[in-house]
Amino acid sequence: MPVVISNSSTLMHLAAIGRLALLKEFYGKIVIPPAVWKEVVEEGMGRIGVTDVKQARQEGWIEVISPTDKPLIRLLKRDLDEGEAEVIALAIEQKADIVFLDESDARRIAELYGLVKTGVIGLLIRARKEGRIESLKKELNTLRDKAGFWFNEKLYHQALQSVGEKP
């Protein structure tokens, strides 16, 4: 089973559009650091999808693991928030196969460490290509309108084009 580590954005946004289960279908198990759990569940109480994330942990397919390299976390926190710093540190420690990051600074720094990354849009593209969702356009519109996920028009058009859908 691949080692897969997620930041809060991917969890919150997939849960908000009712697509959190895609992570279980694709990877079986997801690892998150404590700062991500805190941001999503403890600080996110009342948000759409929080219950789904809590249930996934109870079912055992989301696991919380603490990174141990505190100096690396402190270094990463110069440019990133605590969750992103812990995700990247944990990904390095666990030799992650893939990391879920949506924020551009975190993605850039993950690249510096040679980490393979994707985000919520990449996961939805995969779901569309594998026939797990009917329309990427519908999912992206829901992601933007219901979940408040921001992306520019260029990325929107590129994503749709990658699966052969029209804007």
Question: What are the DSSP E strand ranges found in 18-70?
Answer: 30-32, 62-64
Average pLDDT value for residue range 21-43: 96
- Contact by Cβ (8 Å): 14, 20: yes
Predicted confidence (pLDDT) at residue 36 exceeds the cutoff of 90:
yes
pLDDT at 47: 85
Predicted confidence (pLDDT) at residue 46 exceeds the cutoff of 90:
no
- Predicted confidence (pLDDT) per residue in 58-100, tens digit: 999 999 999 999 999 999 999 999 999 999 999 999 999 999 9
CATH superfamily of 4-120: 5'-nuclease (3.40.50.1010)
* Residue 1 banded pLDDT, cuts 50, 70, 90: confident
- How many other CB atoms are found less than 10 A from the CB of residue 27? 19
pLDDT at 49: 84
pLDDT at 167: 86
pLDDT at 15: 94
Q: Which helix (H) or strand (E) holds 118?
A: strand 117-118
pLDDT at 51: 92
- Predicted confidence (pLDDT) per residue in 98-153, tens digit: 999 999 999 999 999 999 999 999 999 999 999 999 999 999 999 999 999 999 99
Identify the DSSP state of 83.
Answer: H
